[in-house]
A and B are shown apart, each in its own frame.
Chain A
Amino acid sequence: MQQRRELDQVYTNRKLLNGQLDTPKWWLPTVSILGVVVLIGVVVIATMINKGLGVTGLARPVYWGLFITTFVFWVGISHAGIMISAILRLTQAEWRRPVTRAAELLTVFSLLTALVFPLIHAGRPWRIAYWIMPYDISRGIYPNIRSPLIMDPVAISTYLTGSTLFLYIALLPDLGNLRDRTTGWKNAMYTVLSLGWRGNPRQWKMQTVGGILLSALMLPIFVSVHSIVSWDFAVAAAVEGWHSTIFAPYFVIGAVHSGVSAVVTMMALMRWLWKWDDFIRPEHFDALARLLIVVATGWLAFTFLELTFALYSQDAPEIALREMQMFQWPWNALFIIFFLTAYAIPVPMWLFKRVRTNIALMFWTSILVNIGMWLERFLIIVPGLARRTPFVYTWEAYRPSAVEWTIFIWSFAWVTFLMLLFSKFFPLVPLFEQKESQVFTEDVMIGRAKIPAIIREAD
């Protein structure tokens, strides 16, 4: 599986730092266009805050719609980082190397984006300060720590802080490298950021041991974050389809599915845009696809359990909800699209090695997965609320407005914009990990076969 490529360090530096030392031709136009979209999104958000949530399609009984769906979606995407960086580091999988930093970065930026949604969803975001600050700002009101809506920001902030710090620590050797390759103000910036990194055995040992320790600490956080987000829904007994004990692991495994697919999308783009064919190779996509098959099948099992035990209760409202979700327009169309895109199309394709090593096919199937996973969250959140229509006054079914769609598109532009900005100053592929793989891998002859081998340190 792992083809050993002999790449000297000068070449590695030159190729992987091409984003920082040169500027690719496509970078500025792309960032400019994204910047315009981001600006439009910000203006729309500001307008919404000014005019109120009435400009969205949200109304009784569907109080949570596109914004919360997209919030859960971005939290889900963020689970890629730790999955790839931490779990694969702990299991010493060699094929993680080109992917880890980009995945961690996706985590940080998608969490930042996810956090925006509950803020703007409040209608009057400044009021959040009153009920989130553990301080008697206003008439003795304190955060209600029993509410999952308080647990959410705590968990997401913890994950965001941890991921950012993890990203920075792992960036130190590469900051040292950039310091050595630059002059002028850039050199000064990297000198400060690298904290005086030299590369002696003590510092490298701290990278290794610290990386493992941080991975071990971040893993429980990663599991807890999406579980807590799922409890926003699961602890509510009043909404059909929500009060299920399986939500926590179901959401987590769905997040891993969607997050790792997003990493596949990102890796394909990185290979094509920065011409990193030597570093991001078909074998990496093969390994990721095999991981995705396992994760997706696990996700399917959890979906099956969720549906089975929803019907298990034999509760008329619950059964009516499921009938609506699967057989009534427009939910039935969304359901079919969701199932096809999240599992039925991509996973059977990934069973074939020819597909797994075809980067274009992996790119498109990974996008399909994320379309499906967004729809999954939409189908969990909105139908359960929409079904309460007979009991309250409503004028029409929930239909997301142009404002909501604009902000939805803004979120994608914002994450991409941030990633591209980052790529201008910091390498997306960890250089020291690539170089480490040159040191820690060898070819060994067993009979006439040349087998790739890994050097494992003695304990």
Chain B
Amino acid sequence: MRKSILGLFQQPEPAADAMDGLKEAGFELGTFDVLTGTPYPEGAFGEHVPQHRLFRYPAFGAIIGFTLAVFLTSVTQLAYPMVTGGKPILSIFAMLIIMYEMTMLAGVIATVIGIVIESRLPNMQPGIYDTRITEGWIGVVITFDDESKVADAESVLNKAGALEIKHA
């Protein structure tokens, strides 16, 4: 299991300095991260801005929903071909409504799945954490493949003013 340490700060500026310090000390992007109880403007901690593919999910979902809806509406009308109100058996304008709703439904469900996956959830072994993060503290977490770098990381955190360092 990989070792991690968590540096805790009460103010965001020292945490941002710690992130800078870790970059300068040669730690790879992706091995350290910042944990906050509230969103900050993007880039505020100088963090690596994550790339995401969220927009593909609703597109994919919409295509599936649309196809299903075309199938459902056409097959049900053709399976029991009854003229109602003088309308054609395949009433495209009426079908459009169900097609629209099912397209949107599938798009929304796919988007939600996308949000969960792109957030890298569910993560039932989330790793080192501190409950004070949701009380306004900022956590800087570093994960190590090589335990020899732990001391360097601790030194950076202390220099930036970490109030506590937890180990896992």
Chain A residues in contact with chain B, CB under 8 A? 8-10, 13, 134, 136, 140-147, 150-151, 154-155, 157-158, 161-162, 165-166, 168-169, 172-173, 176-177, 180-181, 195-210, 213-214, 217-218, 220-221, 224, 228, 432, 435-436, 438-440, 455, 457-458
Contact = CB atoms under 8 A, between A and B. Distances in A.
Given A196-B123, A203-B119, A432-B39, A151 B50 contact: no
B134 A134 contact: no
Which of B36, B38, B124 has the largest number of chain A CB atoms within 10 A?
B38
A217 to B, nearest CB: 5
B104 A221 contact: yes
List 9 tightest A-B contacts by C-beta distance, closest first: A196-B123, A9-B136, A180-B131, A435-B38, A210-B115, A195-B122, A142-B76, A204-B39, A146-B94
Given A145-B94, A200-B35, A206-B118, A213 B101 contact: no
Interface residues of B, number: 65
Nearest to B55: A213
A228 B101 CA distance: 10
Given A165-B108, A432-B37, A201 B118 contact: no
A210 B76 contact: no
A368 to B, nearest CB: 34
A158 B101 contact: yes
A210 B100 contact: no
Contact of B134 (A9, A150, A195): A9
26 contacts: A134-B76, A142-B76, A144-B82, A145-B73, A145-B91, A146-B85, A146-B91, A146-B94, A147-B84, A150-B98, A151-B94, A155-B97, A165-B112, A173-B37, A176-B134, A196-B122, A196-B126, A204-B36, A204-B40, A205-B42, A205-B50, A210-B118, A217-B104, A218-B108, A435-B136, A457-B42
A153 B88 CA distance: 23
B34 A201 contact: yes
B80 A140 contact: yes
Interface string B101-115: 110110111011011
B126 A198 contact: yes
Contacts of B109: 161, 165
Contacts of A173: 37
Contacts of A217: 58, 104, 107-108, 111
Contact of A151 (B39, B58, B98): B98
B25 interface: no
Nearest to B93: A146
B121 interface: yes
A199 B101 contact: no
B57 to A, nearest CB: 9
A206 to B, nearest CB: 4
Given A146-B84, A146-B91, A201-B47, A155 B101 contact: yes
Contacts of B119: 172, 202-203, 206-207
A219 B124 CA distance: 33
A134 B72 contact: yes
Contacts of A143: 76
Interface string B127-168: 101010111100000000000000000000000000000000
A161 B34 CA distance: 33
Given A202-B118, A228-B97, 16 more contacts: A9-B135, A13-B134, A146-B84, A151-B98, A154-B101, A196-B126, A198-B127, A199-B134, A200-B34, A200-B35, A201-B42, A203-B120, A204-B39, A205-B42, A210-B54, A435-B37
Given A195-B121, A199-B133, A214 B38 contact: no
B39 A439 contact: yes
B41 interface: yes
Contacts of B1: none
Contact of A136 (B49, B58, B79, B87): B79
A359 B54 CA distance: 41
Contacts of A10: 135-136
